[in-house]
Structure 1
Amino acid sequence: MRALPGYPGPRHWRQVPVTDQHYLDVGTGDPVLFLHGNPSWSYIWRSLLGTLSPDFRCIAPDLAGFGLSPRVPAAKGSLDALERQLSYLAHLFRHLTGSQGLPDRRWTLVVHDWGGPIGIAWALRNPGVVARLVVLNSVAFPWPTGHRHPRYLRWIRGSATVAALARATNAVPRAALRHGVVRPLGAAERMAYLLPFADRQHRRTVVEFVRCTPLRGDDPAWRLFDPGDPCENDGGLVGLLMFVGWGTRDPVFTPPVLAEWTRRFPQARVRRYPDAGHLVMEDAAGQLDRHVRDFLRSA
C-alpha cells in the first residue's frame, strides 16, 4: 500500500466483533502480541512483523483510540485510561482464543512505551498466559530516582491550554517523529505514522495519554502494573523469559529507567543500541529484529 509502506496488506486486517478494535494477524506459530505506545499505532511494528511472521503468529492491535481502532470517550484520569485499554485487551484475547484458534498459554508479549504498563497489567491479571516478555523503551514501575520527563511533555501534562494547542497542531506525534529517532524517517514513513491523526478529532487520545501519565509514586495507576521487587519473590514477572532492547538516545525513557529494569529483572537478556532513540524499532530495525527473533527461537 502506497500510503503505508511496509505495512501488511488488508488481507491481514481484522476487527474484534464487540469493540471493533483493529488488529493485524500475520504468520503462523506460537502467538506474539505487540502493544504499541503513544503517539503511535501498529505501523510501528512492520519490520519486526516481517522478520517474525515466518515462525510466529503475530498479533498487533491498535490500542483503543489509536490507529485504525475506533475513537473512545474521554478518560477520567490515568487509572480510567489504563482500565479502558485493559478491557479492550480482554475482549481481544477472548476473541483470539475463542474463535481464532489461538492457545491460552505460551504467549510472547512485546511492548513499547505505554504498551508496557498496559501489557504488563494485562499479564499480571492473566497469570500463566505470557511466557516471554520483550521490552522496548518502556516502563512498568514508578519512575526511578534521577528520571525527569522532557519539558514539553510536562507542559502538556500541566496546562490545559498547552494541551489544547498540542491537539490543534498535532504536536505530540510530530515531536515524536522528530525527537524519537536518531536516523530521520523518510517522508512516506512520516506520513504513514501521522495518517491516523490527520483530523483534530482523532488526536484527543494522544494528548489525553500524555496528561494521564502517572508521575508520582503514589499515583493509583502504578498499582496496576508495578511487578514488585524480585527480592520479595512476589513480582509476578520474575520467572518470565525476558529480553530488553533499549535505544540509549531516548529523551523520554532515560538511562535510570533501563537501570531499574536490570535491577528488578537480573535474568533479562539486555541489548543496548547506542545509535537508536525512543523509536528503537526504527533506528535499529534490522539488528533489533534479529536479536528478538533469536531470543524467541532460543527461549
Structure 2
Amino acid sequence: MSLTEAEFLYPDYDFAPHWFEHGGVRQHYLDEGEGSPLLMLHGNPTWSYMWRDLVRDLRSDHRCIVPDHIGMGRSDRPDESVYTYTASSRLADLERLVQHLVAERGLPARGWTLIGHDWGGIIGMAWARRRPEWLARIVILNSAAFPMPTGYRLPWYLRLIRGGGRPPAWLVHRTNTFALAASRLGSASPLPPPVRRAYVDPYRDRHRRLAVLRFIQDIPLTSADPAWPLIDVGLVESPQLAALPMLVCWGGRDRVFDHHFLAEWLRRFPSAEVHLFPRAGHFVHEDARHEVTARLREFLGRPTEGQR
C-alpha cells in the first residue's frame, strides 16, 4: 500500500520523494544535495523525518541519502506473503538500494559516511562490516550493533512485546501506542505537537504498523533469533573498520540504549570521538539537534586518511 503526497506535509519536510522498486515493492528515499554521500538510517518506530534537520543543514556540501525501511514512513506496506519483515531483509534492501544508487544515479562506490540510529545502527553496521572499503566515516546515535552488553537487561515492556504475548503485541499492532509513546518518551523535552504528529502519522492505521511490531519481535537476544547474524560479530572489530573515523553522539537519558551500550561502542572503537548529552533522551537528534548538527558538520569537515 502506498501513501499519498498530501499525507506527508510536515514541518521542515519538504523534500522531493524518490522511489526504488524491487520485487513489486517500492522503497522511498530522500536524495538531497551534492558532494560526498551521507547514508542516514532510521530505526523503530521512526522514519526519514527524523533526519530532516541534518539533511537541510548538510545538503549544501553532501549528498544525503535517507531511506525509509519497507513498511515505514513513505515506503510501501506489503503483505507478509510478499515481504519478510526481518532485519536480514532490511540489510538486503539496503544493499540493493546502494547498488542501484551507484549503478543508476551516479553515486560513488567509495567515500560514504554511515549515520545510524536505533535499528539503523544495527542494519547500517552490518552493511559496513560487509563493505568497509566503501566507507570513509561512521556516525552513531543511540544504537547498537553487537549482542546485548554484559549487565544489560532489555526493558520489561519490550520483552513482553517481543515474546508475542497477545495483549502487548495486540496493542502495538491494533493501536498506535508504541509510536505515540516513542514520540513522547523518546525525547527528554516535549516535542512540538506538529513534530509529534509527523512521527506518529505514518503508523496511524493498523495496516501501517506491521513493521513496527516485527522490529520489536526481531530484537536479537540469542543465537537462535533470526536477526542474530547481524550482530554476531566477535569481540573485536576488523582493523579496517576500527580504523575509520567515528563520531558518537549519545543521549544520556535513553530508556533503552543506556550507558552499557555506549561503553561497548567505546570498547570496540577506542579512537571514536564521543559527545555525551546527559540531558538528551533516545531522540538525541531532537533534544540536542543544534549541538549534534554542529558536531557532525565539524566532523565531516575534517579530511580522511585518503584525502590527506
Corresponding residue of 2:147: 142
Tell whether 2:207 aligns with 1:179.
no
Contact 2:17-2:30 within 8 A present in 1 as well: yes
Once the two structures are superposed, the pairs formed by residues 22-171 of structure 1 within 5 Å of their partners are: 22-74=28-80, 81-161=86-166, 162-171=168-177
- 1:160 CA displacement: 3.1
Corresponding residue of 1:284: 288
- Equivalent-residue separation in structure 2 for 1:126 and 1:95 (angstroms): 15
- 1:126 CA displacement: 2.1
Corresponding residue of 1:15: 19
SS at match of 2:214: helix
Corresponding residue of 2:252: 248
Contact 2:187-2:281 within 8 A present in 1 as well: yes
- 1:228 CA displacement: 3.3
Q: RMSD of the alignment, in Å?
A: 1.9
- 1:222 CA displacement: 3.0
Contact 2:142-2:284 within 8 A present in 1 as well: yes
- Equivalent-residue separation in structure 2 for 1:80 and 1:169 (angstroms): 19
- Equivalent-residue separation in structure 1 for 2:200 and 2:187 (angstroms): 15
Contact 1:109-1:132 within 8 A present in 2 as well: yes
Once the two structures are superposed, residues 71-110 of structure 1 have per-residue CA deviations (whole angstroms, 9 ceiling, x without a partner) of 13449xxx97122111211221122111111101010000
Aligned pair in 2 of structure 1 residues 216, 105: CA closer, same or farther (>3 Å)?
A: same
- 1:220 CA displacement: 5.7
| Aligned AA (2:281) | G
Greater Cα shift, 165-174 or 188-197? 165-174
- 1:149 CA displacement: 1.9
Identity %: 47
| Aligned AA (2:234) | G
Corresponding residue of 2:276: 272
Higher relative contact order (CA 8 A, sep 6+): 1
- 1:236 CA displacement: 5.3
Tell whether 2:211 aligns with 1:193.
no
Q: Which runs of 5+ in 2 are unaligned?
A: 1-5
- 1:279 CA displacement: 0.6
Contact 2:249-2:276 within 8 A present in 1 as well: yes
| Aligned AA (1:106) | G
| Aligned AA (1:245) | C
Contact 1:229-1:235 within 8 A present in 2 as well: no
Contact 2:218-2:225 within 8 A present in 1 as well: no
- Equivalent-residue separation in structure 1 for 2:80 and 2:154 (angstroms): 24
TM-score between both structures, scaled by the size of structure 1: 0.92
- Equivalent-residue separation in structure 2 for 1:255 and 1:37 (angstroms): 19
SS at match of 2:86: helix
Aligned pair in 2 of structure 1 residues 227, 134: CA closer, same or farther (>3 Å)?
A: farther
Contact 1:228-1:235 within 8 A present in 2 as well: no
| Aligned AA (1:62) | D
Once the two structures are superposed, the pairs formed by residues 211-222 of structure 1 within 5 Å of their partners are: 211-216=217-222, 219=225, 221-222=227-228
